[in-house]
Amino acid sequence: MTVTEPNTVLFASPAAAGGAPFVTTPVAYDGILLAGFGGPEGQDDVIPFLRNVTRGRGIPDERLEEVAHHYRHFGGVSPINGQNRILKEALEAELAARSIDLPVYWGNRNWAPYLDEVVTEASAQGHTTLLAFATSAYSSFSSCRQYREDFARVLHDTGLGETVTIDKIRPFYDHPGFVEAFETGVREAVEGFLADGIAAADIQILFSTHSIPTADAERSGARDIEWGEGGAYAAQHLAVAAWVMDRVRATVPAAADVSWELVYQSRSGPPTQPWLEPDVCDVIEELPSRGRKAVAVVPVGFMSDHMEVLWDLDTEAAEAAEEAGLAFIRTPTPGVSPAFVAGIVDLIEERLQGRPNEERPHVTSLPGGFDVCRPGCCENIRAGFKPAAAGVAP
């Protein structure tokens, strides 16, 4: 694939192809693409799935088996596919309730149903102007741009690039429908600890998200915006966590004495490669030395209770808290809560109607949430340039 015009977006609708950061022209999309990560659904799927996740890195199966234990623990089944099936049904119901007649297609990056199969199916059924919702809320290569590159690859490899377009819904980390579950969870956790006689100053809130390589984090977000250490990825998580705590403190005055911080989980890769820190379990282990007696872990980086939540938080973090003698709560993810499902359809309506940025709801003051990525946004440090659907080519 070649790019002849630097500011032309490949495989995007005419409204998005010009490269403006916010698309304010209504687009008559004829299908919704729910784009997920994918996960194994049986023991025989685990290694093939991990091969897909690590494709191109030359990792032998023996090494993959070493990191497969959390899937093996749950019978080789990741909950993520089942959760996305439920989300698909919930979106279909909400769209119908609003009289929006659009089919919802669900496809994955790393496991069946694969994106190329689903996009081919949509095209065969006459749906060629697709709006994609990726199941990651924040800005980084793996959570945003990689999906855009996946869409470009699919349209190129299937030969559908001349007839099908895919636009991607903006990062939605600070949409009210997404963050409401975290606010409710923290408030209920604090109230529960207080009711158990634990002083507010003895409570720690840990907002947890997936760690990524430090170099990826520094390159996350538009490069013409000064995000601070950790790039847009860290800045967005910190902003959401601060908003949640402000809201909780407004309704639970005692929460003013509750401490919080952003932590990371699920790191992988070679130990010599720097990743975002601190690790959630490392922090939990040191909380008694800070005088803490209770900890609430908030999965602020995640949409649903997939494997990283069930294993890294409900299993490993819970065990670390028990060993440290701490009361422990893991707060809920948005899942398929009515507020979150309605929020996703709000995001769909933004693009159907071409709603300007100033009319779009958001709870933080951070810039971004672009419909079309800026040049160089979320560059991949491990590979060269790949055209990105719904993203401006660098």
For residues 46 and 138, membership in a common domain is answered with yes
Question: Cα Rg for the chain, rounded, in angstroms?
Answer: 21
For residues 347 and 256, membership in a common domain is answered with no
Per-residue model confidence as pLDDT tens digits over 208-258: 999 999 999 999 999 889 999 999 999 999 999 999 999 999 999 999 999
Residue 275 included in any domain? yes
For residues 28 and 157, membership in a common domain is answered with yes
| Nearest one of 351, 353, 344 to 372, comparing CA atoms | 351
pLDDT of 394 higher than 50: no
pLDDT of 8 higher than 90: no
Q: Are 292 and 200 in contact (CB under 8 A)?
A: no
Residue 123 pLDDT grade (very low, low, confident, very high; cuts 50, 70, 90):
very high
Residue 70 included in any domain? yes
For residues 238 and 279, membership in a common domain is answered with yes
**Eight-class DSSP state of 142:** I
For residues 217 and 306, membership in a common domain is answered with yes
Per-residue model confidence as pLDDT tens digits over 25-53: 999 999 999 999 999 999 999 999 999 99
pLDDT of 387 higher than 90: no
CATH number for the domain spanning 73: value is 3.40.50.1400
For residues 116 and 232, membership in a common domain is answered with no
pLDDT value, residue 385: 59
Residue 369 included in any domain? no
Residue 110 identity: N
For residues 222 and 311, membership in a common domain is answered with yes
pLDDT of 269 higher than 90: no
For residues 24 and 169, membership in a common domain is answered with yes
pLDDT value, residue 7: 44
pLDDT of 3 higher than 80: no
Say how far apart CA 149 and CA 157 lie, in whole Å: 12
Helices (H), 125-168: 146-157
Lowest mean pLDDT of 25-29, 55-59, 61-65, 183-187, name the range: 55-59
Q: Which two structure tokens, joined as six digits, stand for 78?
A: 């990741």
For residues 73 and 220, membership in a common domain is answered with no
pLDDT value, residue 19: 85
Prediction pTM value: 0.95
For residues 151 and 185, membership in a common domain is answered with no
For residues 221 and 349, membership in a common domain is answered with no
Domain span including residue 238? 176-330
pLDDT value, residue 390: 66
Q: What total number of domains does the chain contain?
A: 2
For residues 31 and 131, membership in a common domain is answered with yes
For residues 307-319, give the mean pLDDT: 97
Residue 386 included in any domain? no
